[in-house]
Amino acid sequence: KAGVTQTPRYLIKTRGQQVTLSCSPISGHRSVSWYQQTPGQGLQFLFEYFSETQRNKGNFPGRFSGRQFSNSRSEMNVSTLELGDSALYLCASSLEPSGANVLTFGAGSRLTVL
Amino acid sequence: GQNIDQPTEMTATEGAIVQINCTYQTSGFNGLFWYQQHAGEAPTFLSYNVLDGLEEKGRFSSFLSRSKGYSYLLLKELQMKDSASYLCAVRDSDGGFKTIFGAGTRLFVKA
């Protein structure tokens, strides 16, 4: 079956712009999590969605937002981009939040902010 | 809050055994995971522990002690392809479920 699909894979933006990243989970997976990965910080938790509801949110400013649709696909948006937002954004899906919540990651969207 | 600590880098020799340690602090523990991440690739699942003890899966084993907030990943018969980052992650239910990752341990396997 198809894995987790993230689009776009690479993008370049300038400071002040906004960006929307998309994530299609594995078929049947209803939970989607987003992470920011940078060389110095590792994977930082952004948010987790289940059944179109944000179940938890990490310590990121309000410029970072997301949503989940009825087909479990998810999007995240970053507004008023800053240089420090340059990172790899990873999406991961799992069956549901409880139990052995094994995450399957997409290949990521690499964002460069100039 | 949550905190996960693991060594930044380790080096080992092909064919040897290496143990990567992880200590954690969390309010609502719901399981500990190990993921492997090769350079330029996404993390992939290796192991899951929710009860104390050792879980063995081929060349990889993972141990958990909940009372000590401690886990380790044991890699046996190291191969060059095991050179990667190993991420310790904790499933936390405090304030709603989330999986928190440590910064990762970069393992270099040399011939």
Of the candidates A40, A44, A35, which has an alpha carbon nearest to the alpha carbon of residue A109? A35
Query: Testing the interface with B: which of A101, A104, A110 to mutate, by most B Cβ within 10 A?
Result: A101
Element (H, E) at A29: none
Contact B22, B71 (CB under 8 A): yes
Q: What is the pLDDT of residues A1-46, one digit of tens each?
A: 679 999 999 999 999 999 999 999 999 999 999 999 998 788 999 9
Contact A48 B97 (CB under 8 A): yes
> What is the mean pLDDT of each successive set of 10 residues along chain B, which is 111 residues long?
90 98 94 96 96 96 97 98 97 88 97 95
The residues with which A90 forms a beta bridge, in sequence order, are A35
Structure confidence at residue B2 (pLDDT) = 75
Structure confidence at residue B36 (pLDDT) = 98
Contacts of A33 in chain B (CB under 8 A): 98-99
Q: How far is A16 from chain B, CA to nearest CA, in Å? A: 28
For chain B, report the end-to-end CA distance as a whole number of angstroms. 41
Tokens found for residue B17: 């055994």
Q: How far is B97 from chain A, CA to nearest CA, in Å? A: 6
CA torsion angle for B77, B75, B58, B52 (degrees, to 10)? 150
Of the candidates B53, B44, B85, B30, which has an alpha carbon nearest to the alpha carbon of residue A3? B44
d(CA B100, CA B89): 5
Give exposure, A51-66, as e/b (b: 16+ Cβ within 10 Å).
eeeebbbbebeeebbb
- Cβ-Cβ contacts under 8 Å between A and B: the total is 60
Structure confidence at residue A1 (pLDDT) = 64
Q: How far is B49 from chain A, CA to nearest CA, in Å? A: 9
Structure confidence at residue B55 (pLDDT) = 95
Contact B103 A101 (CB under 8 A): no
Contacts of B97 in chain A (CB under 8 A): 48, 55-56, 97-98, 101
Question: Mean of the per-residue pLDDT values for chain A?
Answer: 95
Q: B80 at the A interface (CB within 8 A)?
A: no
Contacts of B89 in chain A (CB under 8 A): 43
Q: What is the pLDDT of residues A47-101, one digit of tens each?
A: 999 999 999 999 999 999 999 999 999 999 999 999 999 999 999 999 988 777 8
